[in-house]
Amino acid sequence: MTRTASPDLARNGRPYLYGGEEAAIASMLSAGQYNHGAVTEEFEQRVAGFLGVSEVVAVASGTAALHVAMLAAGVGPGHDVLVPSFTFCATVQAIIATGARPRFIEVNPRTCCVEPAEVLGALTPHTRAVMPVLYGGRAVDLTPARPALDEQGVTVVEDAAQAFGSCQGERRVGATGVVTCFSFGPVKNLTCGLGGAIVPRTPLEADTCRRLRGLGIIESAARRAEATTYTVDGFGLRVQMSPLNAAVGLVQLDHFAEAETRRRSLWRAYAAALEGVGGIALVDADVPRTVPPMCAVRVLDGRRDAVFRALRERGIGVGVHYPPNHTQPAFSAWHRPLPVTERLGREIMTLPFHQHLTEVDARHVAGELRQVLAAGAGQ
């Protein structure tokens, strides 16, 4: 029998608005503020304050954050960037956009994140950067690999697209001394509509990122207003964050404590309801340090596709995050065998996860998953 779940359960991810976002956009529209300006700078300062860092550079997307951060770190043609294959394709596209080569590495299947030993094992003289992906919002601590990376001049650029608000030890991700990139896309922990941000390591790196995001023009609002010319100081993209998006982000940031609480409770409700269920393994998200944007499980014994289809038929919005990148046609030039990742790609399944859902919904989804498994889907 096919039951119909609530429409919210049919969505894997969904933005959550606290109220106030629409008014914030409307006021930007009527003020004629569409281009990078004071409100974007206010958003940068508020995010910096939240993270406990001195500089944040806002950009148009998480992908743009990764691209600009790598360019600022000097990544380009002839360089290798170590990156897990098990990530969103945006991570890889950002590497390719710099002209560098992605070198795909494995992840730990328990956490879906890279380990320091894997990074050290893949280092070559061509390696210029390492891009750990904070899968499911979980912090990745590469401290044990840092001496070797520093000695070789390898920069750590974190893809923390999913990890806004998460902690590594006592510090927020972004405040741990590496270059960090966040996404504020629609289904992330905090949304601007679309948007992203870089946390650079030094004021100089921040200036480089600002030049790279804005057509290479040396930024100074006062100078632009008064001067008859401007200075183009080098190469630059056109990926600033619009004040329309920044205004949404400011409202979301005001309510972020609620996002932290609700996302953690939802994840914990899933974990409790799935306790002892055979045939699956919950990906360890390290809650409460993590603010989770998703809840991922592995469906074992080759049953994922059948279980996925059965749940969709029951109106449950399960997803697959992610099909491995090294097997994508676009990235075939950098293919190498990665058995752990290939297996994860066949096992991974994400459960509906967003702030419209309650603990009751999590128990309902877990119940449906248990039934589908017991009914023998995929056996």
Ligand X SMILES: *Cc1c(COP(=O)(O)O)cnc(C)c1O
Residue 91 or 290: which CB sits closer to ligand X?
91
Residue environment code for 278-297, b if the CB has 16+ CB neighbours within 10 A, otherwise e: ebbbbbbbbbebbbbbbbbb
| 245 is an interface residue for ligand X by CB under 6 A | no
Instruction: Tell me, residue by residue from 167 to 196, as one string, x for binding to ligand X by CB under 6 A and - for no binding.
Output: ----------------x-x----------x
Residue 126 or 238: which CB sits closer to ligand X?
238
Please name the helix (run of DSSP H) or strand (run of DSSP E) that holds residue 148, with its range, or none. Answer: helix 146-151
Residue 67 or 364: which CB sits closer to ligand X?
67
In the complex, minimum distance from the CB of residue 203 to ligand X, in angstroms, rounded to a whole number: 25
| 91 is an interface residue for ligand X by CB under 6 A | yes
Residue 154 or 294: which CB sits closer to ligand X?
294
Query: At 106, which amino acid appears?
Result: E
Residue 83 or 377: which CB sits closer to ligand X?
83
Closest CA to 256 of 169, 164, 353, 158: 164
In the complex, minimum distance from the CB of residue 91 to ligand X, in angstroms, rounded to a whole number: 5
Burial (CB < 10 A; 0-12, 13-18, 19+), residue 271, is middle
Token pair 């279980």 is found at: 307
The residues near 326 (Cβ < 8 Å, ≥ 6 apart) are 85, 104, 334, 335, 336, 338, 341
The residues near 285 (Cβ < 8 Å, ≥ 6 apart) are 136, 137, 138, 267, 292, 295, 296
CA distance 301 to 57: 45
Instruction: Tell me, residue by residue from 133 to 172, as one string, x for binding to ligand X by CB under 6 A and - for no binding.
Output: x-------------------------x-xx----------
Between β-strands 348-351 and 179-183, what pairing exists: parallel, antiparallel or unpaired?
unpaired
In the complex, minimum distance from the CB of residue 360 to ligand X, in angstroms, rounded to a whole number: 27
Instruction: Tell me, residue by residue from 192 to 221, as one string, x for binding to ligand X by CB under 6 A and - for no binding.
Output: ----x-------------------------
In the complex, minimum distance from the CB of residue 274 to ligand X, in angstroms, rounded to a whole number: 23
Residue 348 or 369: which CB sits closer to ligand X?
348
In the complex, minimum distance from the CB of residue 31 to ligand X, in angstroms, rounded to a whole number: 25
* Token digits of residue 114: 């890279």
Residue 51 or 95: which CB sits closer to ligand X?
95
Residue 113 or 373: which CB sits closer to ligand X?
113
| Total Cβ atoms within 10 A of residue 176 | 22
Q: Hey, which residues between 17 and 76 contact ligand X (CB under 6 A)?
A: 61-63
The residues near 70 (Cβ < 8 Å, ≥ 6 apart) are 81, 94, 95, 98, 100, 129, 131, 157
The number of CA neighbours under 13 Å toward the Cβ of 263 is 33
| 87 is an interface residue for ligand X by CB under 6 A | yes
Name the β-bridge partners of 81.
Answer: 102, 129
Compute how many residues bind ligand X; rule: CB under 6 A: 14
| 252 is an interface residue for ligand X by CB under 6 A | no
Orientation of helix 304-313 relative to helix 359-374, angle to 10°? 120
| Total Cβ atoms within 10 A of residue 109 | 18
In the complex, minimum distance from the CB of residue 291 to ligand X, in angstroms, rounded to a whole number: 14
In the complex, minimum distance from the CB of residue 195 to ligand X, in angstroms, rounded to a whole number: 7
Residues in the chain: 379
| 242 is an interface residue for ligand X by CB under 6 A | no
In the complex, minimum distance from the CB of residue 184 to ligand X, in angstroms, rounded to a whole number: 7
| 88 is an interface residue for ligand X by CB under 6 A | yes
In the complex, minimum distance from the CB of residue 262 to ligand X, in angstroms, rounded to a whole number: 19
CA distance 306 to 375: 11
Residue 239 or 362: which CB sits closer to ligand X?
239
Interface with ligand X by CB under 6 A: which residues? 61-63, 87-88, 90-91, 133, 159, 161-162, 183, 185, 196
